[in-house]
Amino acid sequence: MATKPTRREVLSLFRSLMRTAREFTDYNIREYTKRRTVDAFRHNRKLSDPAEVAAAFADGKSQLGVAKRQAVVYSLYAPSIKSVMEM
């Protein structure tokens, strides 16, 4: 199992997830990703057990991988018109 991640690593993961969220062309997925990362990080804020923290961090990293790949796939089929929410 990985050792407990440092604060910097956790914040860096948070930033990466938010940055990846920005790359989505679909408004809904973009907003969901931002919302979900904020909620998940806040929910896990009070964790103290190193094993739990490491598990949550690993989970976050795998989700980051998923998000990055999906951003690429979605951009291939991006709609040409903007969503009404973005106007």
Partner 1 sequence: MASVSANFVCSRTSVRLLNQMMTSKSLRLATVGWGRTPGFPRLTSSRFQISCAAKKETVDKVCEIVRKQLALPADKEITPQTTFTDLGADSLDTVEIVMGLEEEFDITVQEDNQDNISCIQEAADLIEQLVASKS
Using CB under 8 A as the criterion, which residues of the chain lie in contact with partner 1 when the complex forms?
A: 7, 11-12, 14-15, 18-19, 22, 38, 41-42, 45
Closest approach, Cβ 45 to partner 1, in A, equals: 7
19 versus 69: smaller Cβ distance to partner 1: 19
Residue given tokens 């690993």 in the structure block: 58
Do 5 and 57 form a contact (C-beta atoms < 8 A)? yes
- Find all residues with CB under 8 Å of 26, minimum gap 6, and list them: 74, 78, 79, 83
Closest approach, Cβ 37 to partner 1, in A, equals: 10
